[in-house]
Amino acid sequence: MRRDVFQAIADPTRRAIIGLIALQAMTPNALAEHFDTTRQAVSKHLRILTECQLVKQEQAGREIYYHFNPDSMKEVADFIEPFRRMWESKFRQLDNVLSNMKKSKK
């Protein structure tokens, strides 16, 4: 069963894990060093992120490295896009109003 990406990124620890492995692939032990929690708790977060396909596993000898899967964030990006466009439009309108106010003061 594939988990909901939005539920996965709702947790601050999982967002922090994504941020770390977006920079470089890491093992669960290396990730656990960044958190004040157990390695088992980090593994549970990694399992959820893997089920959502936000991270991928790669076996390298005896170690498992976790890599960020940016393609899986497309669902989030698609959801946010209309809001981003709306806010950019609002900011452009505000810039125009402020520009007109500045010109009228001259």
* The pLDDT value given to residue 20: 97
- Tell me the C-alpha distance between 100 and 90, whole Å: 15
What CATH code would you report for 5-105?
1.10.10.10
Which helix (H) or strand (E) segment holds residue 28: the answer is helix 28-32
Each residue of 17-46: pLDDT tens digit? Answer: 999 999 999 999 999 999 999 999 999 999
State how far the Cα of 33 lies from the Cα of 37, in Å rounded to an integer.
9
Domain extents in the chain = 5-105
pLDDT confidence of 1, banded at 50, 70, 90? low
- Residue 2, SS3? coil
